[in-house]
Amino acid sequence: MKNGVDSIDINRKKSLIRSKELDNIAIDDMEHKSKVRIGFSEFSNKLYTNTKNKILKELNASEEDWNYPKWQLKNRINDVDEILKYSNLTKEEYEDIKNVSEKYRFAITPYYFSLIDFDNPHCPIKLQSIPNIEEFKEFGQLDPMNEEQSNPSGKITRRYPNKLIINVTNACPMYCRHCQRRRLIGNVDKNTSKKDIDESIDFIKNNPTIREVLITGGDALLLSNNKLENIFNKLSQINHVEIIRIGTRTLATLPFRIDDELAVLLRKYKVQVSTQFNHACEITPEAVKAIDILVDHGILVRNQMVLLHNVNDNKYCIQKTNEELQKYRVIPYYLFHPKDIKSTKHFQVDISKGLEIMKHLEGRTSGMCKPTYVYNTPLGLGKVPLVPIENIEYDEDGYKFTTWENKTIKKH
């Protein structure tokens, strides 16, 4: 009896010591995470309202205009002289943006532009949207994924047995400087022709192996609801198509595009949504309003983040961003290793860095907010999940694991 009580005491004592140890790890993480800029903060709100008010005044527009997606698109900032109206640029910065944009155009919704912190040279919003002189650096390829040779019909990209992509437009509300499809952005925004869409749908109709269709672009939500419904309707009549998914970044770049009417349409065809938030500061009150509309209508929303140097290649930033996503009911899905796309040298990260970030996430945060880190292999051979190599090893003694704290232990 006495022994039993003693061992309970010992267990409790050991548990308390371990609990304290875990507290110390968490406290350290919390301190680092508190330095990551988030969308819900006084700082972000101040930046946003300041620039927003300047733009509204300059364009003689109202709050109502601002919240109207067509107004946002019509008034995209796409000229260096416009940037100059709302921020101070050095002569050199001005010249650089001007020179780069002559070769690689830019366009930023007033909404996204208003989130830029011009005082921070590494502002994640700025790095993702404003042309950078580094884009001229010799590097990479236009089409490393060989998309041009995975196109069996219309505007389809097919690399997998039972799923494929239809590209329905080359347009996006904001052109990400790191975009893997930069070569398709061109100089004009163009929706895919009716002929190409019909051809793509016919291909799917004639291929009973295809159970999932991804509608993407560009940004699929730049199509009108009517055009979207037309596509959803045709696909839903094909018996073997079980899932329709759309790819859109409007939640981050043009959240006003998401309204009840759209959500009802997506719900009708049980469309699932993939989006792209790359940094916690993109998860603003406006973005969360858009997320809420979708999720409250029962739409599944998953996030595909891209690992980008100086934007988010920091373990606490990735942790915080995924925790914010989980908090607002977006499922972290992928963390993409950046591809070697021409003119994106300054965004490149070594795979070892990505693995270090994944190792950090392992035990330190909820399993519900951990994406799968993937590398999209060259030649369009598909995505490969990347996990720290030491996590599981095998030799004559059997399997050996390395835990989140780097403790090694053999399988029973």
Which strands make up the sheet holding 398-402, listed edge to edge? 392-395, 398-402, 408-410
- Sole window of 168-176, 203-211, 317-325, 338-346 interacting with ligand SF4 (rule: CB under 6 A): 168-176
Contact flag: residue 155 with ligand PLP (CB under 6 A): no
CA separation for the pair 276, 378 (Å, rounded): 22
Residue 308 contacts residue 339 (beta carbons within 8 Å): no
Residue 219 contacts residue 247 (beta carbons within 8 Å): yes
Q: Give the residue with the Cβ less far from ligand SF4, 217 or 354.
A: 217
Residues in contact with ligand SF4, counted by CB under 6 A, come to a total of 9
Q: Which does 163 bind (CB under 5 to 8 A by kind): ligand PLP, ligand SF4, none?
A: ligand PLP
- Report 234-273 residues binding ligand SF4 (CB under 6 A): 249
CA distances from 29 to 1, 14, 32, 208, 361 (A): 42, 23, 5, 49, 11
- The position carrying tokens 């003119």 is 343
- Sole window of 39-47, 52-60, 160-168, 282-290 interacting with ligand PLP (rule: CB under 6 A): 160-168
Contact flag: residue 277 with ligand SF4 (CB under 6 A): no
Contact flag: residue 178 with ligand PLP (CB under 6 A): no
Contact flag: residue 337 with ligand SF4 (CB under 6 A): no
- H-helix or E-strand containing 232? helix 225-236
Contact flag: residue 128 with ligand PLP (CB under 6 A): no
119: its two tokens? 């005082």
Single out the residue of 52, 126, 181, 245 in contact with ligand SF4 (rule: CB under 6 A). Answer: 181
Can the peptide bond before residue 218 be classed as cis, meaning omega within 30 degrees of 0? yes
- Report 195-224 residues binding ligand PLP (CB under 6 A): 214
Contact flag: residue 383 with ligand PLP (CB under 6 A): yes
CB of 92 to ligand SF4, least distance (A): 26
Q: Give the residue with the Cβ less far from ligand SF4, 179 or 201.
A: 179
- Report 219-238 residues binding ligand SF4 (CB under 6 A): 219
Q: Which does 214 bind (CB under 5 to 8 A by kind): ligand SF4, ligand PLP, none?
A: ligand PLP
CA separation for the pair 320, 29 (Å, rounded): 10
13: its two tokens? 């004592």
3-state secondary structure of 40: coil
- H-helix or E-strand containing 375? strand 372-377
Residue 387 contacts residue 349 (beta carbons within 8 Å): no
The interface mask with ligand SF4, positions 182-221, x = CB under 6 A, is -----------------------------------xxx--
- The position carrying tokens 């009517």 is 226
Contact flag: residue 52 with ligand PLP (CB under 6 A): no
- Sole window of 17-25, 49-57, 159-167, 230-238 interacting with ligand PLP (rule: CB under 6 A): 159-167
Q: Give the residue with the Cβ less far from ligand SF4, 186 or 285.
A: 186
Q: Give the residue with the Cβ less far from ligand SF4, 197 or 251.
A: 251
Q: Which does 383 bind (CB under 5 to 8 A by kind): ligand PLP, ligand SF4, none?
A: ligand PLP
CA separation for the pair 166, 281 (Å, rounded): 30
Q: Give the residue with the Cβ less far from ligand PLP, 114 or 180.
A: 180
Contact flag: residue 157 with ligand PLP (CB under 6 A): yes
Single out the residue of 77, 100, 165, 251 in contact with ligand PLP (rule: CB under 6 A). Answer: 165
Contact flag: residue 175 with ligand SF4 (CB under 6 A): yes
- The position carrying tokens 């004009």 is 188
- Neighbouring CB atoms inside 10 A of 104's CB total 17
Residue nearest to ligand PLP (CB): 159
Residue ranges in 90-224 assigned as alpha helix (H): 91-103, 110-113, 124-129, 182-185, 194-205
CA separation for the pair 326, 353 (Å, rounded): 23
Q: Give the residue with the Cβ less far from ligand PLP, 214 or 221.
A: 214
DSSP codes joined into one string, 154-178? TTEE--SSSEEEEE-BS--SS--TT
Contact flag: residue 165 with ligand SF4 (CB under 6 A): no
CB of 282 to ligand SF4, least distance (A): 12
325: its two tokens? 């996503």
Q: Which does 175 bind (CB under 5 to 8 A by kind): ligand SF4, ligand PLP, none?
A: ligand SF4
10 Å CB burial of residue 341 (0-12, 13-18, 19+) is buried
Q: Give the residue with the Cβ less far from ligand SF4, 176 or 330.
A: 176
- H-helix or E-strand containing 372? strand 372-377
**Residues at the contact surface with ligand PLP, assessed by CB under 6 A:** 157, 159-160, 163-165, 214, 383
